[in-house]
């Protein structure tokens, strides 16, 4: 009896872990014209340009000129995304958010 209960507990814990790994939409950022989306890694303390992955859009969206679904940001753990004109402005925005660290620019 004890072995059966232990196995059930292990199976339930594995199922809970798999459910927690699901991706979800965190938010949307629409950069102003001329701005770049920067990725700030808080763990490694680096600033770099965010990576995008291209997605296919439907024909109806293309006719309606809805290109917002065309690019998606590849989000990483321990990273925040900031829209700014250049890296100097990113550092300003980080100090406004009270994140005072020295960052490497990649």
Domain extents in the chain: 24-105
| Residue 30, pLDDT score | 75
Q: Each residue's pLDDT tens digit in the chain (106 positions)? A: 555 555 555 666 655 555 555 555 567 777 788 999 999 988 888 999 998 888 777 778 778 877 666 777 888 888 889 999 998 999 888 888 777 777 777 7
pTM, full prediction? 0.63
- pLDDT number for residue 36: 92
**Strand residue runs (E) in the chain:** 36-41, 46-49, 52-54, 71-73, 79-84, 104-105
Beta bridge partners, 82, equal 38
């Amino acid at each position: 009896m004890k072995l059966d209960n232990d196995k059930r507990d292990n199976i339930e814990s594995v199922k809970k872990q798999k459910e927690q790994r699901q991706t979800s939409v965190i938010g949307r950022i629409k950069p102003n014209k001329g701005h770049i989306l920067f990725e700030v890694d808080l763990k490694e303390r680096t600033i770099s340009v965010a990576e995008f992955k291209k997605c296919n859009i439907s024909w109806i969206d293309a006719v309606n000129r809805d290109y917002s679904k065309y690019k998606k940001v590849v989000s990483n753990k321990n990273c925040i995304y900031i829209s700014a004109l250049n890296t100097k402005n990113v550092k300003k925005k980080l100090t406004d958010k009270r994140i005072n660290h020295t960052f490497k620019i990649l």
